[in-house]
Amino acid sequence: MRIELQNLSKSFGDKRLFSNLNAAFEPGAMYAITGKSGSGKTTLLNCITLLEKIDSGVILYDGKQMQNLSHSKQIALYRKTISFVFQNYGLVDDWTVAENLKLPLTFNSSKADKRESINKTLELVGLKGKDQMRVYSLSGGEQQRVAIAAAILKDAKVIFCDEPSAALDLENVQLVLNILDVLRQQGRTILISSHDANVVSRCQNVYQLGNSKFLKLR
């Protein structure tokens, strides 16, 4: 799915995070949005995913303007199109891995055999046999991979990751990035906010956000 941003502006009080921001994100590519802490990276992702309102501008998904969608259509967009991998993983700690992964299958009628789909996806992210483990018993790296497994099961066309390496060691960072790269090769659009050089180096396209400017570094 192609995402296009036209003249986006966003402020918090007297602080202007970005102004007249323009960019296009294409399918089959991985994008890093980098910048200092507090520069507005997470806010920009939240705006693109409609979790926060922009002050002005236009957000297009495959040419369709998003911010004027009705509430019901925005919910449908999340169910079918978008996955957001949060810093805190967005999982229910007391549930098993399998219970967490059944949620994204709720609205995916193509996944007839949920158990088989979950097991195959866990094998893909290197967590084979851990479907009955409680999330709280997993390491940070394992929980991050469960969150990505949820995005895979949802069959999201666009995956947003907010600081995916924040709580991970280098080995787990590379595991997560390898999985995201496979998803990129399958044609998904992947946007990552990060100030981690290891993450940024793995992305084909890099933007820097700061001082209300949005610069393409490569």
Q: Determine the Cα–Cα distance for residues 52 and 44; give it in Å rounded to an integer.
A: 9
Residue holding tokens 């998803």? 183
Measured between alpha carbons, how far is residue 209 from residues 9, 104, 217 in Å?
Answer: 13, 31, 10
Q: Determine the Cα–Cα distance for residues 12 and 154; give it in Å rounded to an integer.
A: 33
Predicted confidence (pLDDT) per residue in 81-137, tens digit: 888 887 777 889 999 999 999 988 876 655 567 888 899 899 988 899 999 999 999
Mean pLDDT of all residues in 162-189:
88
pLDDT at position 111 is 57
Where does the chain hold its CATH 3.40.50.300 domain(s)?
1-81+157-218
Closest CA to 188 of 11, 28, 69, 18: 28
CATH of 1-81+157-218 among 3.40.50.300, 3.30.1330.30, 3.40.30.10, 3.30.420.40: 3.40.50.300
pTM as predicted? 0.87
pLDDT at position 190 is 96
pLDDT at position 152 is 84
pLDDT at position 108 is 65
Q: What size, in residues, is the chain? A: 218
Mean pLDDT of all residues in 66-83:
82
For strand 82-85 and strand 158-162, is the pairing parallel, antiparallel, or unpaired? parallel
Is the pLDDT confidence value at 181 over 90? yes
Least confident of 2-6, 32-36, 67-71, 125-129: 67-71
pLDDT at position 110 is 59
Mean pLDDT of all residues in 44-73:
90
Average pLDDT over all residues of the chain: 89
Closest CA to 33 of 184, 180, 192: 192
pLDDT at position 133 is 96
